[in-house]
Amino acid sequence: MASVTATSSTPPPAPLKLGTDVAADWELFRSEWRNYETATELDKTTEKRRSAVLLACVGSATHTVFRSFKFDEEEDRTSVDKIIEAFDSYCIGETNNLRAIRVSPARAATRRNDRRFRSGR
């Protein structure tokens, strides 16, 4: 098993900041995370360690979002693939097959708030 040390010259991805384009923010972070995992050989360590590093990298603000996720099994909370699936669902949402529009819960809330603001409610 490969060892990942704190002295790795590969910097971790910047913490995930969920701004106005949540889907784009997440897709960039996910891409940087995959590169980081490969470059540091983190993908060859235990699942528990991988998930701990991933959750450290997302940052404390986004970790709050993670804590709100519901998983089928408790061990899914330490599965990198399951964590990424949960963030995919939250940030990107499901594809509407009729109109091929992706709407995440965060983006839907933003849209509702925008409509209220414009209508003066």
Residue 88 inside a domain? The answer is: yes
Q: What's the whole-number average pLDDT of the chain?
A: 82
Q: Which of 54, 39, 40 is nearest to 4 (CA)?
A: 40
- Could you list the residue range(s) of the whole structural domain that residue 39 is in? 22-92
Q: How do residues 39-90 score in pLDDT, each as one tens digit?
A: 999 999 999 999 999 999 999 989 999 999 999 999 999 999 999 999 999 9
Exposed / middle / buried, residue 16 (Cβ in 10 Å: 0-12, 13-18, 19+): buried
Query: Is 12 a domain residue?
Result: no
Residue 94 clears pLDDT 50, i.e. is over it: yes
Residue 10 resides in a domain: no
Asked if the structure places residue 67 within a domain, the reply is yes
Residue 50 covered by a domain: yes
The verdict on residue 121 lying in a domain is: no
Does residue 112 fall inside a structural domain? no
How many domains does the chain contain in total?
1
